[in-house]
């Protein structure tokens, strides 16, 4: 019997949803948009896109997705957070908006908009051993940094000594946007995690 492919969702409340859907399509994976608890129940893994984390947090609560997402994360669902999505995954946030909450799961502390207004968007080539020898061209858009990585998580990449990618079990959080480049390797890595093909 051929096993049916795992379903990957993209949290579609706010932010850069389409780019992730297109990236998954380029890898032959049809994404399911996640807008309510029934959508979430139908997916095996989920991407949380970039956008504005404080708004995404509010919408998660409004659409009754915060607790279901927390529960799924705690029970091991693979999640890939990019930029605002990384902030949503972080256990700790040092300069959130008043009352801003995260979903948590990834043992890191993040700082929002950490690269400052002058260079709030820039690009850099990152050395990421997990992706192979070719550098990963990273696009940072009002990006957070990972200020500290706790003992349960590990650093995957940094730029000028500042951590911008971390992983913990099935959780992957990066502060930049591979979905706006032609580099599919981050999404391939996430698909392997969802499919249970660990390196």
Ligand X SMILES: NC(=O)CC[C@H](N)C(=O)O
Closest distance of CB 106 from ligand X, Å: 15
Q: Which of 20, 46, 60, 83 is catalytic?
A: 83
Question: Closer CB to ligand X, residue 50 or residue 105?
Answer: 50
What residue has token string 């996430």?
190
Q: Is 123 a catalytic residue?
A: no
113 binds ligand X (CB under 6 A): yes
Could you list the beta-strand ranges (E) of the chain. 8-11, 31-34, 45-48, 79-82, 90-93, 106-111, 121-126, 136-141, 145-149, 154-159, 162-168, 171-174
Q: Which of 18, 35, 142, 185 binds ligand X (CB under 6 A)?
A: 142
84 binds ligand X (CB under 6 A): yes
Q: Is residue 192 annotated as involved in ligand binding? A: no
Q: Is residue 141 annotated as involved in ligand binding? A: yes
What residue has token string 């499919």?
195
**CB contact burial 23-53 (16+ within 10 A = b; e otherwise):** bbeeeebebbebbebebbeebbbbbbbbbbb
Q: Which stretch binds ligand X (CB under 6 A): 17-25, 44-52, 152-160, 163-171?
A: 44-52
Q: Estimate the share of the chain in helix, then strand, then coil, as percent rounded to the nearest 5.
A: 30, 30, 40
Tell me how far apart the alpha carbons of residues 81 and 190 are, in angstroms, rounded to a whole number: 10
Binding residues for ligand X restricted to 47-76, rule: CB under 6 A: 50-53
Q: Is 46 a catalytic residue?
A: no
Closest distance of CB 97 from ligand X, Å: 8
Closest distance of CB 120 from ligand X, Å: 8
Q: Is 147 a catalytic residue?
A: no
Pairing of strands 79-82, 45-48: parallel
Q: Which of 107, 112, 114, 163 binds ligand X (CB under 6 A)?
A: 112
What residue has token string 């890939």?
80
Where is the binding site, in residues?
51-53, 112, 141-142
Q: Please give the annotated binding residues for L-glutamine, written as ranges.
A: 51-53, 112, 141-142
Mind telling me the catalytic residues?
Answer: 83, 177, 179
Q: Residues in the site for ligand X, rule: CB under 6 A? A: 50-53, 83-84, 87, 112-113, 141-142
């Amino acid at each position: 019997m051929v096993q049916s492919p795992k379903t990957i969702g993209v949290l579609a409340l706010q932010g850069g949803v389409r780019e992730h859907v297109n990236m998954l399509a380029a890898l032959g994976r049809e994404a399911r948009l996640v807008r309510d608890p029934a959508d979430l129940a139908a997916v095996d893994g989920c991407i949380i896109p970039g956008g504005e984390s404080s708004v995404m947090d509010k919408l998660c609560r409004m659409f009754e997705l915060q607790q279901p997402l927390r529960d799924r994360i705690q029970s091991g669902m693979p999640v890939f957070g990019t930029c605002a999505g990384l902030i949503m995954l972080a256990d700790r946030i040092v300069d959130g908006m008043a009352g801003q909450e995260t979903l948590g799961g990834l043992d890191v502390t993040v700082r929002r908009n950490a690269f400052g207004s002058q260079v709030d968007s820039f690009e850099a080539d990152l050395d990421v051993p997990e992706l192979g020898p070719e550098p990963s061209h990273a696009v940072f858009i009002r990006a957070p940094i990972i200020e500290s990585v706790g003992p349960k998580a590990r650093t995957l990449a940094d730029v000028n000594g500042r951590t911008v990618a971390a992983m913990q079990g099935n959780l992957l959080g990066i502060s930049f946007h591979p979905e706006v480049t032609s580099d599919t390797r981050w999404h391939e890595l996430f698909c392997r995690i969802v499919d249970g093909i660990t390196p």
